[in-house]
Amino acid sequence: MLKILSKILRTTTIRESRINDQIRSLAGFRPGNIDLYRCALTHKSLAGASTGDQIIDTNNERLEYLGDAILSAIIADYLFSVYPACNEGFLTKMRSRIVSRSNLNKIALKMGFDKMIIAHTVAIPNKKHIYGNALEAFIGAVYMDKGFCSCKHFVIKKIFRPHLDLDRLECEDSDFKSQIIQWGQKNKQEVCFESYELSEENKSNPVFVATIRIMDMPAGEGFGSTKKEAQQLAARHALKNLSS
């Protein structure tokens, strides 16, 4: 009995040590509340799964919500300092580009979140945005564990400086939905978006379809794992059709 207990404790200690090392390597500090970071890296696809001695009943959605708000505040403060002569419209557009799903996913993959996230393997291939979500959840965990100042330091030192190319983002305009709406206003053409979920059978891996109609005529269609993504792809398709 003592040997079994000793083996369990040793295995748990090794696992905890590995997680601590991963977080220290990623964030540059020793975590205080390890459970926060474990939760930040746990995708909802594992809800109800068993780890052998316990049932997983938490996921990173709440921390993602918190991290999204904290990240937005840090970005606003950062851009306000970096661009002292720019107006509110420019700052808002730059912030939107930084927190876009595609940009956060790229940053998360560069930081190695794909190797750390705990998720059902079936959910990963078609849900690339889970890495960006995990990054936001991790930021929420840092905020809860270390406070706002330390969280801001982590975001700027470990995310912005090595992975954020502001010059590239300044030249980028990937908000296709806004572009097609502006085109409609300029040309006095009514632009409508129609979106729906393709199938509700697989709740963990939904697919949305979006169609853009211009003057009640179909102009573009897009598919995505979120309604927003589908609308953006539909808008891009419509813009290509209009320019051809």
Mean pLDDT of the chain: 82
**Same-domain pairing of 150 and 53:** yes
Domain annotation covers residue 150 = yes
Domain boundary among 171, 188, 214: 171
Domain annotation covers residue 6 = no
Q: Is 68 a catalytic residue?
A: yes
Count Cα neighbours of 156 within 13 Å in the Cβ-side half-sphere: 15
Could you give the percent of the chain with pLDDT greater than 90?
37
Enter the tokens of residue 54. 């316990």
| List 68, 114, 175, 221, catalytic entry | 68
**Same-domain pairing of 208 and 111:** no
Residue 145 has pLDDT above 90, yes or no: yes
Q: Is 53 a catalytic residue?
A: no
**Same-domain pairing of 162 and 183:** no
Q: Domain count of the chain?
A: 2
Expressed as residue numbers, the domain containing 57 is 30-171
The pTM is what? 0.65
Give per-residue pLDDT as tens, 64-116. 999 999 999 999 999 999 999 888 888 888 898 899 888 999 999 999 998 88
Task: Give the CATH number for residue 182.
Answer: 3.30.160.20
| List 21, 53, 114, 136, catalytic entry | 136
Identify residue 126 by its one-letter amino acid code. N
